[in-house]
Amino acid sequence: MKEIEEMEQEIKDKWFNNHKAEITKRDDITILDWREPGTVIYSVRYIFCGSRLYISGDIGDAIFNLTWIATPESFKGIELSYFLSKLSCHSRERWYFDERKAMDDLKEWYEEDSFDAGEKSRKEILEIYSNVKKIIKSVSTPKEFEMELVNYYMDNSFYYYDSEDFSFISDFGKKLPMCYVAYLLGIKLANEQLNAQKEVSNAK
């Protein structure tokens, strides 16, 4: 996904560009510190314990309940969507509301749905479009947007659209915060760095 790729590049260039990986092992626990030496800015500490991953640091705290034994190496090839499905606790909001994205999503929905619609349904689509546009401009979080949509749906009668359609619309403007992308990317970059160090050491 282009949006995620852009986030990853920004994180590499601006967050993690000078980060160094340091591993500490204590019994069955592995601690990975991923940070720029001398500063805590964008620092991350990963604690791998059994099938759990604990994350703390400057970009937030989180706990992941996994279906495998967690090690820094075990995240190679893991996709972001699958990784986030294991998220059980987090200190940062899971989503934030992007007004521009919400407007773009609404416009795309309107153009697709009205293209093949009849005159009556097109009129209803336009009415929904106009009112949802007002709602988007009045809210600042995904939860507020969802609640306002529910109120709008409950207070009005619709012939062609039902609650499932409005449930789809409620996802407009949802955007993933960069910290969630950084959690997984940090493990992968740190592991690559550690593996490169091992190769250099073995070559000596």
Q: Domain limits of the chain?
A: 2-92+177-203, 97-175
Q: What is the spatial distance between Cα 94 and Cα 99, in angstroms, rounded to a whole number?
A: 16
- Write down the residue that tokens 């279906």 correspond to: 67
H or E element: which one contains 30?
A: strand 29-35
Instruction: Identify the three-state secondary structure at position 36.
Output: coil
- Write down the residue that tokens 């996709």 correspond to: 79
Comparing C-alpha atoms, which of 181, 187, 179 is closest to residue 48? 187
What's the token pair of residue 193? 């760095």
| pLDDT number for residue 132 | 97
| pLDDT number for residue 198 | 81
**How many residues comprise the chain?**
204
**Strand boundaries in the chain, DSSP class E:** 20-26, 29-35, 44-49, 52-57, 62-65, 87-90, 96-97, 174-175
Torsion 144-145-151-152 (CA) sign = positive
Please list the pLDDT of the chain residue by residue as tens digits (204 residues).
688 999 999 999 999 999 999 999 988 999 999 999 999 999 999 999 999 999 999 999 999 999 999 999 999 999 999 999 999 999 988 899 999 999 999 999 998 877 676 666 888 899 999 999 999 999 999 999 999 999 999 999 888 888 888 999 999 999 999 999 999 999 999 999 999 888 766 766
| pLDDT number for residue 119 | 67
